[in-house]
Chain A
């Protein structure tokens, strides 16, 4: 029984999750480009590679923008969170060993201690974002149940992964919960607001283009 569930989670479900992730991404971007072509043609007229890249790069540097300096704690947490949420799963020794066992492919990995700290950062940041949504009146006003659900969705593979890695009680079940929650998260990215992972270059790029090319101003 456990073997069947494990092989399902280790094999077909991983494929399914990655296919939904990649297919969903292509679908969402194509749909968005189509919609913009129909309803917002001006986007294509003003899109400018130089100003777009200038803005994207600027917003990727911590504290490079005025708004980031105005909210130093949020900026710090957001940057640490995004770095950790992307790098930890991609450069985790245990994950790479699974890829290696399947395809004999491997790449550089983080020391386990560093991965532990980064995982803790992700979970703590999710807690921070939750408190922010609860405590700041203007953010609270914009918060719906889906925002809280999304935070839980992101945090769960990290919590269960940390739990499983340290082999705390309930190891096999938590391990499988980790795999399942990771797969659900991956598949959910294109169909939730986590799509900003792929949309941000376009939205940021357009803002940069409009500010740079039309208003002749900086957008940071």
Chain B
């Protein structure tokens, strides 16, 4: 009997957890570039409407931005969706990964410059008001 109770209890707990975690997983409403490691940013945060941006830019492949690298080579067919950029670009043993500020700047600005679309000057992204 106690075993049955324990089993049911675990099941309920798991379901509760799943319900609680669900909203955290749904990436529907991203409106700004935010990374937990930016504790005292020197510039205003960058507004970034994930879905609207990707629709406008025609980005279907998540791995274009959410890339994975191994030994300096981009891993085709794999992505880093759900990870924060800082997980690779901020850690001490980051295996030559570009540092976080540069990672954002090169990723956003690099694409905008090469496509001649989107903001490229500092204050076009880091808006003070």
A170-196 near B? 1/0 per residue, CB < 8 Å: 011001000000000000000000000
* A contact patch SS: helix
How many Å from the CB of A119 to the closest CB on chain B? 16
Residues on the B chain within 8 Å of A97, using CB:
101, 105, 122
Tally of A interface residues using CB under 8 Å? 18
Cβ of B12 under 8 Å from chain A? no
Which of A7, A100, A164, A166 is close to B102, meaning CB atoms less than 8 Å apart?
A: A100
State whether B120 touches A3 (Cβ < 8 A): yes
The CA-CA distance from A60 to B120 in the complex, in Å, is: 41
B1 interface residue (CB < 8 Å to A):
no
- Quick one: which of A38-82 are within 8 Å of B by CB? none
B116 touches A167 (CB 8 A): no
Total contacts A to B, CB within 8 angstroms?
40
Docked-complex contact B121 and A93, CB < 8 angstroms: no
The smallest beta-carbon distance between A167 and chain B, in angstroms, is 5
B123 to chain A, nearest CB (A): 5
Is A101 a contact of B42 with CB atoms below 8 Å?
no
How far is A31 from B98 in the complex, measured between Cα atoms in Å? 45
Q: Which single residue of chain B is at the shortest CB-CB distance from A166?
A: B128
For A167, what are the chain B residues with a Cβ–Cβ distance below 8 Å? 123, 127-129
Interface set, chain B 29-79, CB cutoff 8 A to A? 42
Given contacts A97-B105, A167-B123, contact A112 B42 (CB under 8 A): yes
User: How distant is the Cα of A93 from the Cα of B43 in the complex, in angstroms?
Assistant: 11
State the CA gap A4–B120 with chains docked (Å). Answer: 11
The docked-state distance in angstroms from the alpha carbon of A104 to that of B102 is 8
Cross-chain pairs A/B with CB under 8 angstroms, 15 sampled: A3-B117, A3-B120, A4-B116, A97-B101, A101-B102, A101-B106, A101-B109, A104-B98, A112-B42, A165-B123, A167-B123, A167-B128, A171-B123, A172-B121, A175-B122
Nearest 7 interchain pairs by C-beta: A3-B116, A167-B123, A167-B128, A101-B105, A175-B121, A171-B123, A6-B120
Further 5 A-B residue pairs, CB within 8 A, beyond A112-B42, A167-B127, A172-B124: A97-B105, A101-B106, A104-B102, A175-B121, A175-B122
